[in-house]
């Protein structure tokens, strides 16, 4: 299954599937369940955010109202008074996107004006549907979290999926872009201990929604109960365990209090689950070119973890004698194979799909090149990484630029956009339009 499209949050692009992202929790409330509420101490909030940034946070989530069961509701005016000064200071203090943890449209609007670039709604538009309008108006992403506090259920996963599907539809109807919707199963929100454990175990089922998944288990009461009524300060190791399990089951973001420890757990889990990010260039100029590419993509998606597909381009043959025009595209994927194993895999796939042994310049049913393998640099008699002619080949750079303009060449340090720009005017690489003859 192809992963969700990248999401722009603030000045950063989040490419889902490459690694797990860390959201650090910054509570500016006097009554946080976990004991970390900072109240009105703006200086303490900034210091904590700076520490979380240094420890590996990718997003800082600012909340001005406790979401613990039974907590008194806070007016929008009071919530704004708590969060806006902190967000304004964070904008200058750290180079990370700031999220506002609120279900109220007025609070979201004020937070966005202060510098927030992500909305985090624990009620998934059920308490204030106008929040979707704020996200749409500013072109911002929104996290939609499933809560069963207003309607407990017996069969938890269908209920979570149904509630999120409803919220996604409502956000889309308000004009929120598909790539700007993130889902959260709502660990702890109106669910029993057993249901929370089940949600964590079956987290991967949320992939049916086609959205990035945020998981927030940090210091929750379920962890305390599983650990024998451990208080919030003693739930760190339990939280770290849920982080690792959540990543194994599909989490893209983990929302945590203890950034350093959970970031380390995420890096370890990512190394096991995600492997290395690789970029493959696909081309065909013999036979049914479109079908050849489709068969290659289908096979790769079975054997590697597919992140993104570029559009298909029709291109002039490069540096070879006259022959039919190519269809070219690029793939971003994750693999646990070493470089030599990936080379063996793609060459075997070429043979399976009908490529016969021939000189490099001859027409071919399918051609699969390893363009980049993480940030590795390799030069052997059988394999050179990055691809030695990558910077000269527009038919590779154009689709790579579609996947990630900021993707860097590990030797030159140039981005895909910079390499493409250095080629000057691009000719012979056109978006592919299927015709009757194809």
| CA angle (1, 341, 251) in 5-degree steps | 35
What b-and-e string marks burial along 153-178, b requiring 16 or more CB atoms within 10 Å of the CB?
eeebbebbbebbeebbebbeebebbe
**Phi and psi angles of residue 119, each rounded to the nearest 5 degrees, phi first:** -105, 135
The three-state secondary structure class of 199 is helix
Options 19, 126, 219, 220, the catalytic residue: 220
Helix (H/G/I), strand (E/B), else coil: 283? strand
Q: Is 68 a catalytic residue?
A: no
Active-site residue, selected from the candidate residues 82, 211, 219, 255: 255
Asked if 255 is an active-site residue, the reply is yes
Q: Where are the alpha helices (DSSP H) in 147-248?
A: 156-173, 193-201, 221-226, 236-248
Give 211's DSSP letter. Answer: S
Residue 65 half-sphere exposure toward CB, CA atoms < 13 A: 24
Cα–Cα nearest to 244, from 213, 287, 200, 301: 200
Q: Which two tokens stand for residue 150?
A: 């207003």
Looking up tokens 């990248």 gives 6
Residue 170 near residue 130 (C-beta atoms within 8 A) = no
E strands along 74-205, which residues? 98-101, 118-121, 142-145, 181-184
Catalytic positions = 220, 255
């Amino acid at each position: 299954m192809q992963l969700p499209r990248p999401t722009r949050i603030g000045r950063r692009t989040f490419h889902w599937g490459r690694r797990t992202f860390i959201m650090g929790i910054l509570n500016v409330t006097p009554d946080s369940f976990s004991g970390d509420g900072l109240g009105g101490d703006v200086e303490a909030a900034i210091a904590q955010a700076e520490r979380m940034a240094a420890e590996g946070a990718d997003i800082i989530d600012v909340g001005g109202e406790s979401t613990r069961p039974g907590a008194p509701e806070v007016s929008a005016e009071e919530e704004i008074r708590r969060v806006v000064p902190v967000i304004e200071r964070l904008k200058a203090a750290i180079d990370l996107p700031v999220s506002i943890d609120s279900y109220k449209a007025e609070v979201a609007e004020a937070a966005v004006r202060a510098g927030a670039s992500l909305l985090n709604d624990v009620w998934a538009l059920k308490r204030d549907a106008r929040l979707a309008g704020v996200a749409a108006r500013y072109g911002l992403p929104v996290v939609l979290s499933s809560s069963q506090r207003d309607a407990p259920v017996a069969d938890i996963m269908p209920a979570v999926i149904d509630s999120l599907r409803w919220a996604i539809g409502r956000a889309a109807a308000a004009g929120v872009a598909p790539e700007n919707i993130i889902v959260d199963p709502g660990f702890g929100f109106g669910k029993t201990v057993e249901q929370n454990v089940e949600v964590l175990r079956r987290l991967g089922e949320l992939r049916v929604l086609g959205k990035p998944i945020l998981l927030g288990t940090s210091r929750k009461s379920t962890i305390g109960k599983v650990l024998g009524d451990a208080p919030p300060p003693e739930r760190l190791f339990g939280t770290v365990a849920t982080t690792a399990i959540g990543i194994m089951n599909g989490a893209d973001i983990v929302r945590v209090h203890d950034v350093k420890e959970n970031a380390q757990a995420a890096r370890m889990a990512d190394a096991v689950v995600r492997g290395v990010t690789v970029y493959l260039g696909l081309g065909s100029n013999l036979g049914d070119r479109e079908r050849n590419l489709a068969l290659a993509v289908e096979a790769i998606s079975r054997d590697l973890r597919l992140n993104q597909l570029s559009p298909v381009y029709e291109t002039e043959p490069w540096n070879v004698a006259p022959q039919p025009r190519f269809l070219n595209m690029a793939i971003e994927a994750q693999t646990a194979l070493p470089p030599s194993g990936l080379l063996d895999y793609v060459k075997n796939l070429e043979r399976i799909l009908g490529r016969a042994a021939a000189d490099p310049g001859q027409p071919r049913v399918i051609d699969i090149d390893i363009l980049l393998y993480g940030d590795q640099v390799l030069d052997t008699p059988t394999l050179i990484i990055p691809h030695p002619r990558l910077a000269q080949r527009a038919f590779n750079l154009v689709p790579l630029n579609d996947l990630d303009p900021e993707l860097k060449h590990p030797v030159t340090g140039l981005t895909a956009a910079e390499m493409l720009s250095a080629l000057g005017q691009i000719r012979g690489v056109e978006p592919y339009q299927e015709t009757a003859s194809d």
